Amino acid sequence: MDFLFIGNNLAADFVNTEVISQSGMIDLLSGPESLSKWFEQADCARGIKCSLQDLESAKALRCAIRRSFDRIIERKSIGSNDLELLNARSNELVRSLGGANNVYELKFRLDSCSDILALIAQTCCELLASKKINSVRKCASDKCILYFVDTSKNQQRQWCSMEICGNREKVRKHYDKTKGR
């Protein structure tokens, strides 16, 4: 199964590495190699070697982000343990200024799994500290566990994607209608 990038946000896309299929929950981060592959496909970094311990840290972070998203969607406060983890991780992000001749740029160090987890945590913290916090959504399908940041103008996006859940819902409604006749 391919990774999904429908979240409009790195942290949301990271949470979406856990999906539900007809046969149940599937963790797309099935091993250290898949974590490395995700980093690549998410355009974070290429060729990062991840260990089993890295994978465990990644899953702990993913869990904290998901729980945080669930809390804010319910307009409840994020748990202190999750805040602590998000802060600790994002504080590991190393930035450096480089350049010359009045052209300088802030770059993140993205050389290891921890560096990238720090970037994901930092992206999550920035999202939650911004007005976009109110645009964090979970897909409207009760059979789906995908999250996204609604960037649509009218803030009416309901589905993770039309292809995955939007169409399924359309078909269901159509079926109900024709059956009710």
Applying CB under 5 A, the residues found at the interface with Zn ion are: 139, 141, 144, 146, 160, 165
Answer yes or no: are the C-beta atoms of 86 and 107 closer than 8 Å: no
DSSP tag of 102: T
State which residue, 56 or 163, has the beta carbon closest to Zn ion.
163
CB of 179 to Zn ion, least distance (A): 23
Q: Give CA 181 to chain center in angstroms.
A: 42
CB of 178 to Zn ion, least distance (A): 23
State which residue, 126 or 166, has the beta carbon closest to Zn ion.
166
Answer yes or no: are the C-beta atoms of 68 and 80 closer than 8 Å: no
CB of 51 to Zn ion, least distance (A): 32
CB of 92 to Zn ion, least distance (A): 32
CB of 118 to Zn ion, least distance (A): 29
Strands 136-138 and 103-108: unpaired
DSSP tag of 79: P
State which residue, 11 or 144, has the beta carbon closest to Zn ion.
144
- Burial label for 2, CB within 10 Å (0-12, 13-18, 19+), is exposed
State which residue, 19 or 110, has the beta carbon closest to Zn ion.
19
